[in-house]
Amino acid sequence: MNNALYNFTAPSNEPVLEYLEGSNERILLDKELKRQESVEIEIPLIIGGKEIRTGNTGKVVMPHHHGHILATYHKAGEKEVNMAIDAALEVNRLWNNLPWTTRASIMLKAAELLATTYRSTINAATMLGQSKNIYQSEIDAVCETIDFLKYNVSFAGKIYEFQPRSAFNQLNRMEFRALEGFVFAVSPFNFTSIASNLNMAPVMMGNTTVWKPATTALLSNYYLMKVFMEAGLPAGVINFVPGSGSLIGKHVMNSYHMAGVHFTGSNATFNTLWGQAAGNLENYKSYPRLVGETGGKDFIFAHPSALTRELAVAAIRGAFEYQGQKCSAASRMYVPESLWPETRDMIVSMAEEITVGDVKDASNFMNAVIDEKAFDSITGYIDYAKSSNEAKILTGGTYSKEEGFFIRPTIIETVNPHFKTMEEEIFGPVLTVYVYKDKDLDDTIELCDTTSPFGLTGAVFSQDRIAAARICNKLRYAAGNFYINDKPTGAIVGLQPFGGSRASGTNDKAGGEFNLVRWVNPRTIKETFVPATDYKYPYMKK
Ligand code: NAD
């Protein structure tokens, strides 16, 4: 056995390719988009390395052209959930007893395959299946996925490196065991990279998973699973189980061996999972680790010293990229009266320039929202604002689901800082602005802190550095990722570890070593060289 102590230095982040017309990467991507559009693939379950077809099927469609079917997928029932749990448990010992450098090499190979052979595959699947434009897909499906895989390897090394001191007559060691049981990875539709990381972070630390992917991200998630297998992931380490979340969740959460939940998605779903874990505590072998990153009601706060153009660009990019379907998307904004007329004119004119449409037309800044349920929910908020005398729609407010689920970027101005769209997570291209009197700065900071139950991301814009520091401090718990003079989206692995508290989750910071610590179950071993031979202590002797 190779007993070298190996150190993986922190990697540099994967470069974002430009996809200029005529470039090699653009030609390859266009070809792959055509290929994936022209076939309807079948997506089986993958349990213990084997493809399983249940015959109970559903369809994967393009959100921007929902009549176009991309795939038929098979849904798991109770039997398949049990098979997935058994497969994860069967390989558990083998996997966590491997030298960690072997696990690391599989992560690094998966990263390399995604950077090269499968770059266009994973991008095309994310673009078509989740309606992301080239740039949004490249920064997520390719770059962030690769960054998670590579950084986790170096974070794991740092964790394994940690050892306690040894005092006189003893040797102390820490052993970083995997959790005893399997991890339930439950992923959202909006980031391919998160789907990868919810599995691969625990897997790097020696765990095995049962993976419930989001139905609306199945195309890219299936290709991811194939890449993991090609990279050498042994059968059963990750078990890919599409189907109904509530059905799969109920059976998995009942398992005696459920050792952890790695979740990203809505606050409501995480609360359900937490409730099930709490109700099952007597039935588990160990207290499960519950790690969940959930929703946000992310803000941009403008100080009167802010520069209006910077503010307007941050608002447009922060609120409307990927149709506002980022957990970090700006969805409420506080602007002082003195800056408002100029800021308003700029954001309205920028929003009106935006075109919304097919992902293959590179001039579209925005594409479709994910599905009909999301479309109905988002447009419900828009209609509510239209009918209220406390709000007016400054731009947008129109939508159509005829061909695809398209919603124009919508900016609402409200006179009520507690207006519904200032408080609830909408998860769509809707930004609500509250204009405050400059003299009410302190009260407005307080409002910003207390308006929403979430605490995910937020930004302050200010040229006055002292004011920025003061606001940053006052809004200490309002955001787990706080930005000064930048939009509140776009956290990068290794550079801005991501997550928030309050109703936004457990804040275990994906993209940092804190997250990986949750997936180990450390054992401390103390060895005494010369053990005691008399039970009496010296002071007891005459
Ligand atoms: P969702 O909660 O609807 O679904 C997430 C996953 O949970 C899906 O795979 C779904 O099938 C599954 N699920 C649903 N009910 C379940 C149940 N009862 N048991 C087990 N699994 C169940 O979320 P979504 O619509 O896919 O994603 C959007 C949400 O995710 C937004 O609220 C967004 O803010 C949040 N999000 C947060 C972060 C973050 O890092 N904080 C990142 C991305 C997305």
Q: What is the 3-state secondary structure (H, E, C) of 19-72?
A: CCCCCHHHHHHHHHHHHHHHCCEEECEEECCEEECCCCEEEEEECCEEEEEEEE
Atom of ligand 1 at shortest range from CA of 269: 2
- Mean pLDDT per segment of 10 residues, for the chain of length 542 residues? 84 97 98 98 98 98 98 98 98 96 97 98 98 98 98 97 96 97 98 98 98 98 98 98 98 98 98 98 98 98 98 98 98 98 98 98 98 98 98 98 98 98 98 98 98 97 98 98 98 96 98 96 98 95 86
Write the CATH number of the domain with boundaries 64-293+505-525. 3.40.605.10
* 216, 247, 254, 264: residue to mutate for ligand 1 pocket, most atoms within 8 A of CB: 264
| C-beta contacts of 271-280 below 8 A and 24+ residues apart | 272/246, 273/184, 273/186, 273/249, 276/249, 276/250, 277/253, 280/253, 280/254
Domain boundaries, the chain: 64-293+505-525, 298-484
Residue 322 Cβ < 6 Å to ligand 1? no
For residue 296 and ligand 1, the question of a CB distance below 6 A is answered with: yes
pTM of the model: 0.98
Task: Let me know if 364 is exposed, middle or buried by CB neighbors in 10 A (0-12, 13-18, 19+).
Answer: middle
Residue 324 Cβ inside 6 Å of ligand 1? The answer reads no
> Ligand 1 centre and the CA of 329: distance in Å?
15
| pLDDT of the residue at 1 | 66
Closest-lying ligand 1 atom to the alpha carbon of residue 500: 41
Give residue 105 CA to ligand 1 midpoint distance, Å. Answer: 30
| 277 CB near ligand 1 (under 6 Å) | no
Residue 191 near ligand 1, beta carbon < 6 Å: yes
Beta bridge pairs of residue 74? 57
pLDDT score for 67: 98
| C-beta separation of 225 from 199 below 8 A | no
Alpha carbon 143 to its chain centroid, in Å, reads 14
Check if 456 has its Cβ closer than 6 Å to any atom of ligand 1: yes
- Of 327, 425, 448, 472, the active-site residue reads 327
pLDDT at site 3: 82
In the reported structure, the alpha carbon of residue 106 is separated from the centroid of ligand 1 by a whole-number distance in angstroms of 27
Q: Which CATH superfamily is domain 298-484 in?
A: Aldehyde Dehydrogenase; Chain A, domain 2 (3.40.309.10)
Tokens of 271: 């609360």
Active site residue 327: yes
C-beta of 428 in contact with ligand 1 (< 6 A):
no
Ligand 1 atom nearest the C-alpha of 370 is: 25
**Token digits for 479?**
């955001």
